[in-house]
Amino acid sequence: MKKLLSALYIFSVFLHFGCKSEVDLIADGESDYQIFISSDALQPEQYAAKELQRYIERVSGVTLPITNQKPDNGKAIFIGFKEAPESILKNLPTDSFINEEYIIRSDGQQLLIAGAGKRGTLYGVIGYLADHLGVRWYTREVVKTPEQKKIRLRLVEDRQKPHFEYREAWYQEAYDPEWALHNRLNPSLKPLPDSLGGSYITYPFAHTFENLVPHTQYYKTNPEYFSLINGKRSDKLSQLCLTNPEVLKIATNQVFKWIEEHPEADIYSVDQNDGEGNCECDQCTAIDKAEGSPAGSLLYFINQIADTVAKVHPHVKLQTFAYAYTEIPPKNIRPADNLTIRLCHYNYCSAHSMENCENHKPFRERYEQWNKISKRISIWDYFTDFSQYLMPFPNFETVKNDIKWYADRGARGIFAQGNRVRANGGGEFSELRAWVFAQLMWNPQLDAQVLIDEFVSNVYGEAAPEINAYIRLMHDQVKTDSLHFSIWAQPNEVHYLGVQSIQQADSIFAIAKEKVRKNEALLQRVELAYLPVLYTKLYFYSIGGTAYLSKNEMPAAFKQFKNLIDRHQIKAIGDMEETYGNLPRFMEKVEFAPQFIKDWWVAGPFDNTDLKGLSTIFEPEKNFSEQAVFKGKENMTFQWKRYQDHTSGYIDFASLFAPNEEAVAYAYTTYPMQEAGTKTFGVGSNDGVKVWINGKQVLNRPVSRKAEPNQDQFTVHLPKGENTILVKVDQLKRAWGFYFSEN
């Protein structure tokens, strides 16, 4: 079918121009062609002419002159529609082109590259270089310019437009202006300059309730403007009371101010703040109850703003989130015609594609429901681990398939949130993902696996087979339908980073590095690809995983990690630099990792109904006996059993006893002292914890938290000989376990 369509295109060109013979644009290092551009051309079109000249010279060695005068011999590449001759514009309705759409047309004698809007002609030049001359911009450093001593001017009728009007990939590397331009992204967070055609501008970018009605400005005088939560108006950043008429008035006026002050914007965001906290007042609750979702009161509020704006500015577009508590569509209220729904695919399965995983089923249904009631949908999706930018994250099935899924269902824009590592990038395969996303956002029908293979081959050179082997190693482990991981996973919470996998990865990269050791540029790329494996080893070492990295091996690995971090200017390992993304804190945890006690007897689960289990005295607290038989939760019987795991210092009750909500469990061990003295221990738990040393309680911490080493520390005097340690941890939800270290 593709060959038939191509033949029909060429046949149509013959019909337009007659049977002219093809000629050489460049041959034997010479050309009598020029690049013509109107003296009135837009600045981006002038840049397009220079880019064409620059890359044709790189490909062929020939510099074509740029002129504002039409050559007498007619041998020209015409840039832009302005002053292009009628002979090349024949039967071409130029007013039918939409923004960013372009055409590459040749009759075998002349070449036209032109498009609509500020970027259309520029994208046409990029399309000609990429699709017809084979130029590729893989990374900021790796640009492929295939040498061609002869460039034939063939019959061409290549008309293209992007599938998505808004295309943004949230990777530090993808915000380099030259890279973003050449890969035809139009990012909003860091827009391209007007000289390069500008971008698709969203103003403000997201979570704008605080911009509309600032909490700091209004709360003291008008607390009723903000969410009622548990009977109290929130004095913290939450959401707005969406049925308050004064809030509507203030917000509407602010939107009009945005439109006046930022006429360059393509769309204006009126959307909820990040997090939860929707208003529970009687009026808001009544709407939400009737609509079956807090999206009801949200649309009730924003539709009024949208209707008012439409009366004054009929062409202005607004957008709002369907995110977190507003993801479920309302039953009856419909979005205004000038309102785009920005639907967020937040925290579903990252291992499997949208179509092939039941974990995504609720979202698929919600997408279809929103699609039925909305004029326009844009997508915000998450393709990273927020807390672990440097961790291996085998999510290529979502990368390869989900953009097309959205395209097939009419989405207008894509924001692919990736691992935007400060300050120079360097996240796990971030350049690869960014490049593949850019190609798919322009044309989602491309074969994504072919794109991945092309990138790996051209960026990693001789080491490409090993890089592909490593990618397969990680992804083969997550194919099973029952295995999922989220955008907040920690290395010790996923199944694919076992000791054997990391050892295999080490072996693969050892071969890769040996292959490219004489090529410094390739070696640096391979070492950056290896960084997530090294990070994983250091992470496990910091929590007692001596099976990954011994105490003797740690200094060399730690030095290598620091060198790579410095070389690539990596400043954070997660989204929130000050907390879980804090790189200096991580390095301190590795360098000063304590010794963990990892050999225990464990017993459980016991009942924790009404969360009273931590304070309830169960049999293990009375004495320890290997033969003791216990009756626990739901009348199950069990005994103490041995637990030993040198892959981590984390004692994972959830894996031992299943993730029983409202349960408690115990761990028991002995600690020998050669001589009497004091000892400091550290405990981290998920969730509440009690500790007894030699039968005496030394810690009681009823708390809900995520376990980290040394969250609590205590010092005790221990006699010579064997000392007993008993730990009790309760389960509230999700993860369940503890760390116990000697400091």
Please report, as a single letter, which amino acid is at residue 383: F
- Domain stop point among 591, 611, 635: 591
Residues 155 and 234 in one domain: no
Position 20 scores a pLDDT of 53
Q: Residue 74 falls within a domain, yes or no?
A: yes
Tell me the CA distances in angstroms from 347 to 25, 360, 558, 693, one per residue in order.
52, 10, 32, 41
Q: Residue 66 falls within a domain, yes or no?
A: yes
pLDDT under 50 in the chain at which residues? 1-19
Residues 501 and 618 in one domain: no
Position 21 scores a pLDDT of 64
Residues 110 and 152 in one domain: yes
Residues 578 and 617 in one domain: no
Q: Residue 448 falls within a domain, yes or no?
A: no
Q: Residue 544 falls within a domain, yes or no?
A: yes
Q: Which of 136, 214, 228 is nearest to 182 (CA)?
A: 136
Position 113 scores a pLDDT of 98
Position 562 scores a pLDDT of 98
Residues 612 and 633 in one domain: yes
Q: Residue 89 falls within a domain, yes or no?
A: yes
- Domain stop point among 569, 591, 613: 591
Total domains in the fold of the chain: 4
Q: Which of 113, 199, 90 is nearest to 160 (CA)?
A: 113
Q: Are strands 136-137 and 143-144 parallel, antiparallel or unpaired?
A: antiparallel
Q: What is the CATH number of the domain that holds 633?
A: 2.60.120
pTM: 0.93
Residues 11 and 135 in one domain: yes
CA distance 81 to 115: 7
Q: Which of 599, 594, 582, 598 is nearest to 710 (CA)?
A: 594
- Domain stop point among 325, 346, 367: 346
3-state secondary structure string, 283-338?
A: HHHHHHHHHCCCHHHHHHHHHHHHHHHHHHCCCCCEEEEECHHHCCCCCCCCCCCC
Distance, CA of 607 to chain centre: 40
Q: What is the CATH number of the domain that holds 152?
A: 3.30.379.10
CA distance 603 to 379: 47
Position 580 scores a pLDDT of 84
pLDDT tens string 359-375: 999 999 999 999 999 99
Residues 537 and 633 in one domain: no
Residues 577 and 616 in one domain: no
Domain of residue 275 covers 201-346
pLDDT tens string 104-122: 999 999 999 999 999 999 9
Residues 151 and 227 in one domain: no
Residues 150 and 8 in one domain: yes
Q: Residue 623 falls within a domain, yes or no?
A: yes
Residue partners of 254: CB distance under 8 A and separation at least 6: 211, 212, 213
Q: Which residues pair with 203 in a beta bridge?
A: 268
Position 374 scores a pLDDT of 98
Position 158 scores a pLDDT of 98
Residues 503 and 619 in one domain: no
Position 733 scores a pLDDT of 79
Q: Residue 356 falls within a domain, yes or no?
A: no
Please check whether residue 604 is in contact with residue 663, taking contact to mean a CB–CB distance below 8 angstroms: yes
Residue partners of 451: CB distance under 8 A and separation at least 6: 435, 436, 439, 440
689: left (phi over 0), alpha (psi -120 to 50) or beta: beta
Residues 238 and 153 in one domain: no
Q: Residue 362 falls within a domain, yes or no?
A: no
Position 332 scores a pLDDT of 97
Rounded to 5 degrees, what are φ and ψ at 479?
Answer: -75, -30
